[in-house]
Structure 1
Amino acid sequence: MLLSDYLKIGEPLENIGVFDPILDKDNAFFINIQRLKETTTPEFEGSYKRINDFFRKIIKLLNRAEQKNIKDTCFRAAFEIFKFSEVNGICLGFGEKAPGSGFGPKISKMVLETAYDIVKAGIEDPEFFQLLPLFQDNVGPDRLSDMIATLILPDIQAYTERVNQQLGITINNYPDKLFHNGLLCNPVKGYEILLLPTEILHKLPVAKSWEEIDSVIVENNTIRAMMNNEVAEEWTQWAATDRKYYLREKIFKDSEKCKQVIEAYREEKLDAYNPEEQIDYFLAKLWQRIEKSGISWLSKYEDKEIDSKAASLEILNLFKNWVEYNRGWEVILSAGTQKREKIVQRVIHLSGIAYIQANNLSLSCEADEGRGPVDFKISRGQDITVIEVKLSSNGQYMHGYDTQVEEYAKAEQTDNMIYVLVDVGNPVKVKKLLDRYNRDIDEGKKVPEVIMIDSTSKESASIT
């Protein structure tokens, strides 16, 4: 459930650059400090300075400390203010930590002990705190985002209040919704909804943290240049903790190397990120547009129970109709080549859910019964149909037809097989599959039912 759906307000949030969060799960983005440097949103123009001022205060205390121990007065003072809980209302992260966990005492102490060594090595640049996920165990970009959100919480609240007033998100306009301290509450999670400008957000890495930091090393010329050849060759064999240890001890605690890394970091520019590049968020927004378009995916049979294969064919034909006649092909072709097949699978899944529930069937995605995961399994008891979906750009498209779908059917002990080929512009491959299919039919072979879906670019039907 997107916030815009909950309020039934259409697209005003996007039109003024406000992130439209999914309310019933965490959104896999984080507040990026480099984007805060570039922000043009009034409430956040002082946020970057606010963050660095805080870290400068920590650095001063650690500089005065004589030992990295809670018994030391200055170290303890730093520890007392280095506390960051998860700011739940912004709906960001992966939901894997307990609410409000953020930085616990143990992690805070570990970070400050590392920071103490870096400061004592002569580094007083507050930006090294922004690079914590590179070298500090148990700190990924989601925890860093929690830290930043805590520090700029007054700015987030001010921004939320202004947007709420601008769009009329008030208790007077929404008397049936729950508000607290003048702010709308999340109907699923209960806490106040805090809004953010899309321009300050960026993606979380697929690994969900920077513990797998091969890509950081590959992309960061400054750090890579500091690693000797032996380390570079062994790097991929090291555990994540070993990699962070190396960066912490050999680079960030070396004042000259640390200064070079910070200087390179200061000069980096990070382009704005489109949240719809993240597949789950893209699908949430896509589904919202499909529903608003009036396209109906739902058929219910009152007088009889439809069998699994007939249901499968109807769902797939609804999807085929959307792709070929409702410009669904634009959605598929506009996605990056690595995401297209996953998007196709997810849209079929989403389009089938309501249908399946209405007709007392079961839908499983990537169900694995021992021969690998089949894309879809639609069933009612022992009435089972398996569906394999491939794009024509997939090099394994013939293997899917020849072998995969039949192996999945054997594992499920069913003869009901459907093979879907989505053509994204590979006519030679399409012809090869159809020729094979027709030959198999002529020879009386047991074959899956084949559905071809044309997802190639199409000319407008309008006359200019």
Structure 2
Amino acid sequence: MAISVTDYLGIDKSKFNSTGALDSILDFDTKMYIDIALLKQCSISEFKDAYKKVTQRFENILLLLEHSTRQDDKFWRAAKQQLHFNEQPGVCLGLSKYGTRGRGFGEKLENQLLSDAKIIISAGIKDTRIFELMPLFEENIGPDRLSDMVVSIIYEELVAYSKNIFSKFLFTSDFDPKTQLPINPYNKFPIIFVPKSILQDIPLAWSWEDIDRVQHENEEIKRSFNETIGYTWKKATSSRVRKSDLRYYILNYPGFLIDLLSKYETKTPLEYDFTKDRSGQIIWYESAKKIADDYPLKLHWSQNISSEDIYNTVKTICLHFKDLVENNKLYSLLYNDNGSAKHESAAQLIFYGIADAYCKTNDIDLSREANAGRGPVDFKFSKGYDFRILVEVKKTSNNDLVHGIEIQVGEYEKSEKTKRSIYLVIDGDWNGAEKNKKALNKFIERMEKDNITISEIVYVDAREKEAASTYKKARK
């Protein structure tokens, strides 16, 4: 069940917002991360030494690696111990798909990071900021894992900050005996607040295109770099490069890394604008509650409920969502103020918030991103153990539009032991949408020709009818 800290504890929202902390959702992670560059400029009293603590940990690792002569000697083991950290699920941040559990590095990844750091040190570069850049070039290292490590390092500061905020409010709750903070009922860990001023939705405070402006050490390297990497982002709309390519240049050409570090140092980190919420990670919660109140949905079934009843109920919720998007301006929450589209996760979160509100009033269990089969389905509706309906939400701009229904949903149905699912396709004037829709229609025709049953598809027309700013009710 989607519920924020303030709603769970009955805390006044306007007063809480003045604290500057993120009002976390308790039952799953908000996809944001602690940006070390933002932490460096944080002026909140509890965090005055936080950045220094983080860099001191990195300095210790570099110093130990400098003295290490072979993998797994005493200095190497000590460096690995410094790199190891315990997960702290209380902050409810990151990419965890199944609740609020973070991820550590693991021994294999720790050795990989230390090996690469050792190569860099051997080239004469002893700069702690290489750890801040690791999400750029290390496979299986994303901003969430680096953020989890930062959380473990500054955990005491986060606890002190959270205590200070909670002290401003009156509420009733079970408390964690060690931290004396309220307990999250979903994961049984203490609730930890994080200042919004140190959070970001992307791993670094500068864009990939900045790499293209790095001054390479000679013309041969510059030409090779542009042929290998520059072409990748110039030919595509995503402007993404492969980590393996970037890693090659960082480990083999010290001059390139030095210039990259210099560019990183001079780039001013920008705080995330939570009012505009470009990633749609925050606005969905309050908006969905408001919409569900404004447009209530009454669902009815007999006492002897069947799987068909559950399926029809879930379909009714999907069709109601479709009506809200198409006829009640809900589409506006899928766009930024400048007309650009928010990420697909914004659409998924809005659907989740609205569906969750209706499920609460009708005694239906709704879980987000169920741990099933080859990967996470977006939503699982259930009534007891036997009745389960799966719903996957995808925008037509997603190049995996056909894959989602062809492979993923089929796997989910097997693993969740259900025979029914709905594919909620949100359509708009987005890059790649027409191509992906044609591919989906061809797949549907092929399945119909072969008499193969697939998920029921519900199309939602999310094209802008008016300026996104006109939808005021859901934003208040």
Does TM-score exceed 0.5, indicating one fold? Answer: yes
The 1:120/1:166 distance shift into structure 2, 3 A limit, reads same
Q: Does 1:26 align with 2:53?
A: no
Within 2, Cα distance between the matches of 1:384 and 1:266?
49
TM-score of the pair, normalised by structure 1: 0.68
CA shift at 1:126, angstroms?
Answer: 2.0
Q: Which is worse superposed, 312-321 or 19-28?
A: 312-321
Within 1, Cα distance between the matches of 2:251 and 2:429?
49
Within 1, Cα distance between the matches of 2:90 and 2:207?
30
Q: Does 1:92 align with 2:62?
A: no
Within 1, Cα distance between the matches of 2:266 and 2:129?
12
Residue in structure 2 matched with residue 197 of structure 1 by the alignment: 195
Within 1, Cα distance between the matches of 2:92 and 2:194?
10
CA shift at 1:35, angstroms?
Answer: 0.9
Equivalent in 249, 252, 264 of residue 250 of structure 1: 252
Q: Which is worse superposed, 402-411 or 85-94?
A: 402-411
Q: Which amino acid aligns with 1:298?
A: K
CA shift at 1:188, angstroms?
Answer: 0.9
The 1:300/1:455 distance shift into structure 2, 3 A limit, reads farther
Summarize deviations over 1:389-415 as a string: whole Å, max 9, x none: 534678749x78x9689859957879x
Q: Which amino acid aligns with 2:284?
A: L
CA shift at 1:196, angstroms?
Answer: 0.4
2:32/2:201 contact within 8 Å kept: yes
Residue in structure 1 matched with residue 209 of structure 2 by the alignment: 218
CA shift at 1:67, angstroms?
Answer: 1.2
Residue in structure 2 matched with residue 233 of structure 1 by the alignment: 227
CA shift at 1:382, angstroms?
Answer: 11
Within 1, Cα distance between the matches of 2:471 and 2:186?
43
Residue in structure 2 matched with residue 167 of structure 1 by the alignment: 169
Within 2, Cα distance between the matches of 1:300 and 1:314?
12
Residue in structure 1 matched with residue 131 of structure 2 by the alignment: 129
The 1:118/1:287 distance shift into structure 2, 3 A limit, reads same
Within 2, Cα distance between the matches of 1:369 and 1:187?
36
Q: Which amino acid aligns with 1:164?
A: F
Q: Which is worse superposed, 6-15 or 215-224?
A: 215-224
Within 1, Cα distance between the matches of 2:401 and 2:150?
44
Residue in structure 2 matched with residue 120 of structure 1 by the alignment: 122
CA shift at 1:26, angstroms?
Answer: 2.2
Q: Does 1:36 align with 2:43?
A: no
Within 2, Cα distance between the matches of 1:320 and 1:134?
41
CA shift at 1:361, angstroms?
Answer: 9.9
Summarize deviations over 1:121-156 as a string: whole Å, max 9, x none: 322322222222234444322221122112212211
Residue in structure 2 matched with residue 390 of structure 1 by the alignment: 427
Within 1, Cα distance between the matches of 2:69 and 2:403?
58
TM-score of the pair, normalised by structure 2: 0.67
2:390/2:422 contact within 8 Å kept: no
CA shift at 1:257, angstroms?
Answer: 3.6
| Secondary structure of the structure 2 residue equivalent to 1:67 | coil
CA shift at 1:16, angstroms?
Answer: 1.9
2:80/2:110 contact within 8 Å kept: yes
Q: Which amino acid aligns with 1:220?
A: I
Within 1, Cα distance between the matches of 2:32 and 2:469?
31
- Which of the pair has more CA radius of gyration? 1
How many residues align structurally? 411
Q: Does 1:6 align with 2:46?
A: no
Within 1, Cα distance between the matches of 2:145 and 2:471?
47
Aligned 1:353-364 pairs, distance under 5 A: 354=358, 364=391
Q: Which amino acid aligns with 1:86?
A: E
Q: Does 1:78 align with 2:49?
A: no
Within 2, Cα distance between the matches of 1:55 and 1:384?
48
Within 1, Cα distance between the matches of 2:96 and 2:289?
23
1:387/1:405 contact within 8 Å kept: no
1:39/1:200 contact within 8 Å kept: yes
Summarize deviations over 1:21-70 as a string: whole Å, max 9, x none: 2221222221110111222322123211222233233333344x161443
CA shift at 1:332, angstroms?
Answer: 4.5
| Secondary structure of the structure 2 residue equivalent to 1:220 | helix
The 1:386/1:328 distance shift into structure 2, 3 A limit, reads closer
For structure 1, the residue ranges without an aligned partner over 5 or more in a row are 426-453
Residue in structure 2 matched with residue 287 of structure 1 by the alignment: 288
The 1:218/1:239 distance shift into structure 2, 3 A limit, reads closer
Identity of paired residues, percent? 22
Within 1, Cα distance between the matches of 2:9 and 2:215?
48
Within 2, Cα distance between the matches of 1:307 and 1:190?
31
CA shift at 1:204, angstroms?
Answer: 4.5
Equivalent in 141, 144, 147 of residue 145 of structure 1: 147
The 1:412/1:272 distance shift into structure 2, 3 A limit, reads farther
| Secondary structure of the structure 2 residue equivalent to 1:17 | coil
2:22/2:194 contact within 8 Å kept: yes
CA shift at 1:198, angstroms?
Answer: 1.0
Residue in structure 2 matched with residue 445 of structure 1 by the alignment: none
| Secondary structure of the structure 1 residue equivalent to 2:168 | helix
Equivalent in 168, 176, 180 of residue 177 of structure 2: 180
